Structure 1
Amino acid sequence: MRGVVFLTLLASMATCSGAEYKVVCYYTNWAQYRPEPWKYYPEDIDPALCTHVIYAFAKMVNYQLAPFEWNDDNTDWSTGMYERFMTRLSEANGPTPKSLLAIGGWNFGTQPFKDMTSSAANRRTFIQSSIPYLRERGFDGLDLDWEYPHAEDRANFALLVQELREAYDAEAVPPGKERLLLSAAVSAGKTHIEAGYDIPTLARYLDFINLMAYDFRGTGGDTGTGHHGLLHALPAETGDDATLNAAWAAERWISGGASPSKLVLGMPLYGRSFTLASPSNTGVNAPIIGRGPAQTYTREDGIMSYYEICQMLNTGGRRVWNEETKLLYAYKDNLWVGYDDETSIRAKVEWLRNRGLGGAMVWSLDFDDFQGTTCSEQPYPLLTAVNQALLGYAPEVVTMATGAPPTSDDSLIVILLVVFLVIVPLLVAAVVSYWFKAEIRKRCQKHAEKYRTENTTRNSDDTGTKIDEEFVLPIRKNPRQPPTRPCPPDVILTVQPEQHKFKDADSISNASKSSGGRRRLDFDNMENGRREAYQKTTEVKMAQSGQVYTKTVPSNPPPKPPVPPAKPLRALPPKYPHNSRGGAHNVAHPKGPGTAVAYPDTMPTKVAIGFPMYQSTPVAPGGPPSRPINITRPNHPPPKPPARPPRPPTRSMSADLVEVDVDDSVAFQNLQLKFGNDDLYHTQIETEI
């Protein structure tokens, strides 16, 4: 019984001790741009495997924090990566990991940090603006990733850390929140450590220090192969080469004044690759041509993610592990890569536990086999190995990683609600609208046929005139919305006259449009016979919405006032009269001057177009009997009058044969031929008496 209690207490102590370790995970906001299926989103994070998750990176604008990627913050059309990041961390099975925002990085450079830390005013601007920026986006702290401060920046960097800590401690912490955390990612290289870091000041004011114990090799200047994240120096390494390992860097920070409990040892989840000069020489320090080629998914020379290394091993690559030196590398053909797997990761974790460090940091989540399809049957094999070795157990994972934003139950419910509440009603409305329009068209055609049959009539006086009525009922865009006022549908009345019955079949206009949406015929230009036919159909019944509307066809316009009688014609002098221009016709009278007898039948008198008609010789009372006057078209041109100015254009017309009976010459003198409202002045007349 005592043994059981002792083992229980020991397990509790181990659990409490394990809970003090930190597992710091970096999330990179540019991994979203990798090719499928290895894109990485906030939804791919497993929050159960990390105690702290750092969002990398933000940038600086006018000495203030600012988003680096276009979709870090929320937009009007999408949820930003910041919010998705926070939502994912809140889904942890256990305690929610702390979230920090990292500023800087290798691509950010060192100059913005130099400018910001160069004066107290600039530092104050950055510090005071960082607090609301972090709080508004839900972050629990800030991570400084200055790569790397030089000797002249040593004091300013220390001042920045100190002033940040004092400002964060002085903040009025919002309810339910804790004070903001402050960490820094620092170099593991000997030159940078000794030149740029005031280790005692940093260790005093920082909550923890992320030691970037990787990239010792493969960043440039290499002449041979080498592991970029060795735990210990190799036996053959001396001088500065003996400092290119994680153990030496950690000891240097501790000896410089850093507390081991604040020091978090960084581990790479990726490898540094080289191109061998000879495929036959594959050992450490083997001659190289340069960095290894860019891979399909990471797409950077000299970089291979863990899942890409596993793909190389699965297709013929060879793994080499040295248990004594904890050296691991692999090669295939002329490709050589130094990396960490589960075995070398456990060796590093065991060392940092024995040394009393504060925990492990991994760079970065997207380099691990987060889908569990290439290197292992479970996702995150390397990060899982860190947790197992550091905490003594593997935390329960939240979900399997998918490489794309997963759909949560809540979001699935929202999608289903959108489908049933929006899309389905729209489809139903479209079907109903289509059916309604089809029904309206059907009814309109039915009504049109009905009224076309009922309202077809014939003129009793003119059986050749037929009136057809065609109804056009407009369909409104929204049939359920009643019109503001009753308005009859458009009506088009068409006439199909007998062929050649009227002089001009185009005299009827094509239903000119009038106000109110109605149409009417142009009765003013319609001939009498056709107009009378329309007058007999005085009502046109139209049907719409169950109502009957009546339209009265306008009657004939009032008669025009009578034309005043023409002035009597004056008699001709003994000779031919002068023409209208004052010139005399130089033609002698056939009977001589003063002859008072009628003209013989064989000698007609001709008068040219455009001149008034005159009687050449007055007729004695009781003269010749009346004869019909034949007005015909001349078959030969009249004598041309003398030249005269051009007359204004006249309306063209054609005259048919007209026979007029007259009793005497007085009737002839009063004869006027009219066509419309124009006197007939332009017709050649041949008179026979």
Structure 2
Amino acid sequence: FLRCCYFHNTFYNTTSGPPFHVEHIDLRLCTHFIYAYARIDSAANTIKAANPRLEEGPLGMYRKFTDIKNSDPSVKAMLSLGGPRERSEAFDSITATEQTIKSFALKAVHFLRDRDFDGLDIDWMYPDNASRKERLNKLLKALRIAFNHDNQAFVLLLTLAGPGLRTQVDAGFDVPEIAIYVDFVLVKAYKLVMPNRRYATFSSALFNNPNSALDPTLNVNYSVHYWNDLGLPYRKLVVGLTGEGRYLKLTNWAEITPGSPVKQEIERGAYYNVTSGMLYPQICAEVKKNPKNRHFDQAQMNPYFVHEDAWVGYEDKESLGTKLQWMINLSVAGFMFAGLQEDDFTGQLCGDGKYPLLTSIYHRIMRLLSETSDTSESPTLATEPYRPSKGEESGTVLAYLAFVFVLAGTVTGYGLYVFLSKHPLMSFSE
């Protein structure tokens, strides 16, 4: 069960909260750590550091980040490209022609290997038309080909960070094609809100409230099943979780239940500048001071905290535990946590030890997995490889043999993964 955690190089813009550094990372909590974000150098048609002075070089943040593997070689250290500060025009530039796409993919391999990253996460926010949808397909295909042709001890991982909102998925993501090229899609099953609607709503409700008139698509259950319905296998689907709560101001102090009207103004938390949001360290500190103000919505399976006109819908141990049980029942590949900084990584505010959310998740996963008979294939194996055209037939015999091994049950999921890591399913050629 994958546990993917983002490390943000901006550390959030703190006002009085502690900054986050590589040294704060607890390797026990996650299997894949993802450094966010690198940028696109349109002129050179390659990846570039967001802050070269701080990130590049033997003492830079990149090297400090990938060096975490020295303490635990089993963890993966990946790099995320894009994010909210990268414009779609930058992705347009690297996908302008077949040649620029191929060149970028080859340069990406060199960039990642040179800095000891184990893979690349593409976070294009977001392709919004048919042309960009096709460009994303071509970019992912080129990266997959380049990664598979890279003659190293292990094949670089390729993941995609995808939106949870149906409208954004429809506009820019060709899910069946994406599923062919990537190892996993990290679905951002949070911020499932419409900012122009003035109601107290959760950012990441697990289920829709059937008695509510609010949009029934704005919940984790819908988002995850929608990606699957469009063609993404559950074994390639990683469900995004967040420690960021939705912070709003009520119109009427007497109306506090989810769906109550709120003012148009958005608020920011006191410790971190997060638009219309408050991070868990501050939320848990407030709940600790006023525990009676914490409520739980049994329909949507999320807690909310109310103090005077302040309303915060958020995640806690209870809601995340419910989501994890739901994920394991679906046999998804794992979960993604949107930012290590979103948990109480110092343990100073919640009084519940370091990383109370992620620690709770870790222990619950270990317990749930020990109670669950896992008969599914290993999620780390891409069991639906790219099918070559007539001119791309090299390696198909090996792919067929791998398929037969799986059917015969003669090779375990892990053993097959190791075998195929050294002998890719097929040679990608154009």
What's the counterpart of residue 192 of structure 2? 216
C-alpha displacement of 1:72:
4.1
What is the identity, as a one-letter code, of the residue corresponding to 2:206?
A: L
Q: Deviations over 1:475-506 (max 9, x none)?
A: xxxxxxxxxxxxxxxxxxxxxxxxxxxxxxxx
Instruction: Indicate how the Cα distance of structure 1 residues 384 and 204 shifts in structure 2: closer, same or farther if over 3 A, else same.
Output: same
What's the counterpart of residue 376 of structure 2? none
What's the counterpart of residue 392 of structure 1? 367
Q: Per the alignment, in what secondary structure is the counterpart of residue 392 of structure 1?
A: helix
What is the identity, as a one-letter code, of the residue corresponding to 2:367?
A: G
C-alpha displacement of 1:266:
0.5
Matches within 5 A, 1:35-434: 35=15, 38-62=18-42, 63-74=45-56, 79-92=59-72, 95-152=73-130, 153-173=132-152, 177-217=153-193, 220-237=195-212, 241-316=215-290, 318-392=293-367
C-alpha displacement of 1:216:
0.9
Q: Deviations over 1:292-326 (max 9, x none)?
A: 43223212331111011012223336111133431
TM-score (norm 2): 0.81
Structure having the higher helix fraction is: 2
Instruction: Indicate how the Cα distance of structure 1 residues 72 and 180 shifts in structure 2: closer, same or farther if over 3 A, else same.
Output: farther
C-alpha displacement of 1:36:
5.5
Higher relative CO (CA 8 A, sep ≥ 6), structure 1 or 2?
2
Question: 1:137 & 1:304 partners in 2: Cα distance?
Answer: 34
Q: Per the alignment, in what secondary structure is the counterpart of residue 215 of structure 1?
A: coil
* Mapped contact 1:276–1:287 kept (Cα < 8 A): yes
Question: 2:356 & 2:237 partners in 1: Cα distance?
Answer: 24
Q: Which 4+ residue blocks in structure 1 deviate beyond 6 angstroms? A: none
C-alpha displacement of 1:70:
4.3
TM-score (norm 1): 0.51
* Mapped contact 1:208–1:264 kept (Cα < 8 A): yes
Q: Deviations over 1:213-269 (max 9, x none)?
A: 00012x62121110010111111245x811111111111111111110110000111
Question: 1:393 & 1:227 partners in 2: Cα distance?
Answer: 26
Question: 2:330 & 2:265 partners in 1: Cα distance?
Answer: 34
Question: 1:393 & 1:256 partners in 2: Cα distance?
Answer: 28
* Mapped contact 2:120–2:159 kept (Cα < 8 A): yes
Question: 1:71 & 1:390 partners in 2: Cα distance?
Answer: 39
Q: Per the alignment, in what secondary structure is the counterpart of residue 319 of structure 2?
A: helix
User: Is the radius of gyration larger for structure 1 or structure 2?
Assistant: 1
* Mapped contact 2:325–2:368 kept (Cα < 8 A): no
Instruction: Indicate how the Cα distance of structure 1 residues 291 and 313 shifts in structure 2: closer, same or farther if over 3 A, else same.
Output: farther
Instruction: Indicate how the Cα distance of structure 1 residues 139 and 252 shifts in structure 2: closer, same or farther if over 3 A, else same.
Output: same
Q: Deviations over 1:457-476 (max 9, x none)?
A: xxxxxxxxxxxxxxxxxxxx
Backbone CA RMSD of aligned residues: 2.0
Question: 1:343 & 1:32 partners in 2: Cα distance?
Answer: 26
Matches within 5 A, 1:654-669: none
Question: 1:60 & 1:307 partners in 2: Cα distance?
Answer: 33
* Mapped contact 1:291–1:301 kept (Cα < 8 A): no
* Mapped contact 2:13–2:272 kept (Cα < 8 A): no
Instruction: Indicate how the Cα distance of structure 1 residues 378 and 279 shifts in structure 2: closer, same or farther if over 3 A, else same.
Output: same
Question: 2:154 & 2:102 partners in 1: Cα distance?
Answer: 22
C-alpha displacement of 1:369:
0.7
Question: 1:114 & 1:268 partners in 2: Cα distance?
Answer: 29
Question: 2:121 & 2:222 partners in 1: Cα distance?
Answer: 24
* Mapped contact 1:292–1:335 kept (Cα < 8 A): no
State, as a whole percentage, how many aligned pairs show the same letter.
28
What is the identity, as a one-letter code, of the residue corresponding to 1:48?
A: R
Q: Per the alignment, in what secondary structure is the counterpart of residue 290 of structure 1?
A: coil
What is the identity, as a one-letter code, of the residue corresponding to 1:356?
A: S
C-alpha displacement of 1:130:
0.7
Q: Deviations over 1:388-440 (max 9, x none)?
A: 2223289xxxxxxxxxxxxxxxxxxxxxxxxxxxxxxxxxxxxxxxxxxxxxx
C-alpha displacement of 1:89:
3.9
Instruction: Indicate how the Cα distance of structure 1 residues 36 and 82 shifts in structure 2: closer, same or farther if over 3 A, else same.
Output: farther
What's the counterpart of residue 8 of structure 2? 28
Structure 1 gap ranges (5+)? 1-20, 395-689
